[in-house]
Structure 1
Amino acid sequence: MTREYPDDPAGEFPAPPRTVTDAEGREIEIVPADDAERGRLVEMYLDFDPADRAQGIPPVKEEAIEKWLDTILEDDCVNVVARHDGHAVGHATLVPDRHDEHELAIFVLQAFQGAGIGTMLLETLLGQGQVEGIDRVWLTVERWNDPAIALYRKMGFETSNAESFEIEMAIQL
């Protein structure tokens, strides 16, 4: 499969750890996510709104969440988690594919959406990707998810395929 990427790299992104303040005035820590964050992530995904699930992720049941986390917390994946008051409120991951590219997925609890956490989480994930030498990232997003599409464009993602009900976007780091 040949995916089209922008000709120019997007520029520098901040790497974790970092502490930011969201639009609601809440202090948010963004840190690399590893097995030490597993319990927080399971808790977050059990609280995740079913309406915010896309393409079957995150899974709904605890056993499926645990199995999914086994895969995406592997050493070849890049993960960051946003924490507030010791609880995970957002998670973003870059998962390698067989073409030496990385697929992006990002999740923010509904109660924390619209406050800029998704933007800061995405910036930090891309920054960690740069630190780890990743240069090509892609994602798919549902056509009607205008807030997500606007966020991805703001970060430098460009549409690489729009022939289905989902839009594929890509960025060069």
Structure 2
Amino acid sequence: MTPAADEVRQFPRPPLTFTDERARTVDIEVYDGGADPLVAMYTDFDEESRAQGVPPRGETQIREWVETLLEEGLNVVVWHDEAAVGHAVLVPSRDSSELAIFVHPEYQSAGIGTRLIEALLGYGQANGRDHVWLAVARTNHVAMKLYDKVGFETRLRDRAEHEMERPL
């Protein structure tokens, strides 16, 4: 899919520093380090913070999953006080990239997700990605609102989830 010139939005690229809506200063950076900081973040996720089977349960399964994302994707991490509190990744998929984004439960609803997804999309643009898609549970209205805000459009709806996409 080739977007028309007026459809292409340039997104900010990491590194970025900002103050979230709860007055916490956070940093968004490209990440190519080891799995440990992300495993520590994901082990804190409770059942309500999981969707579509991710992050997986159990430290061993989380580590394997994170290592795969780090090997295959473009990764961006949000840091606060030296701890990872958000992670987004673009994973090559067919002729596109699949997007996944996660914000630690204690950092949700503070504007971090919006900044994180914008930074990831900017990083994708800088690395030649031109199309992104994602799947979201149809009941996850908060996430769907975020994706709409950054220009994703629904391409497929079913009972359990929606697939959304956007050109870069």
Please state which band the TM-score falls in when normalised by the shorter chain: over 0.9
For 1:40 and 1:20, locate their aligned partners in 2 and report how far apart those are by CA, in whole Å. Answer: 20
Q: What is the RMSD of the two structures over their aligned residues, measured on CA atoms?
A: 1.4
Note closer, same or farther for the CA distance 1:10–1:50 as it changes in structure 2 (3 Å cut).
farther
Contact 2:52 / 2:137 at 8 angstroms: preserved in 1? no
Question: Residue type of the partner of 1:120?
Answer: R
What SS does structure 2 have at the residue aligned with 1:42?
helix
Q: Which runs of 4+ in 1 moved over 3 A?
A: 5-10
Q: Which residue of 2 aligns with 1:25?
A: 23
Structure with bigger RCO (C-alpha 8 Å, 6+ apart): 1
Match of 1:68 among 38, 62, 65: 65
1:93 paired residue number: 89
TM-score normalised by L of structure 2: 0.94
Aligned partners of 2:106, 2:120: CA distance in 1, in Å? 21
Amino-acid identity (%):
49
Deviation at 1:72?
A: 0.5
Equivalent residue, structure 1, for 2:99 = 104
Instruction: Point out where structure 1 has 5 or more consecutive residues left out of the alignment.
Output: none
Q: Deviations over 1:41-67 (max 9, x none)?
A: 111011112211111111121111111
Q: Residue 47 of structure 2 aligns with which residue?
A: 50
Report how far residue 35 of structure 1 moved: 2.3
The separation in 2 between residues aligned to 1:82 and 1:124, in whole angstroms, is 10
Aligned length: 166
Q: What do the CA deviations read for 1:57-90 (whole angstroms, capped 9, x no partner)?
A: 111211111111121001x411100010000111
Distance change in 2, residues 1:113/1:157 (3 Å): same
| 8 Å CA contact retained: 1:92, 1:104 | yes
Correspondence for 1:84: 80
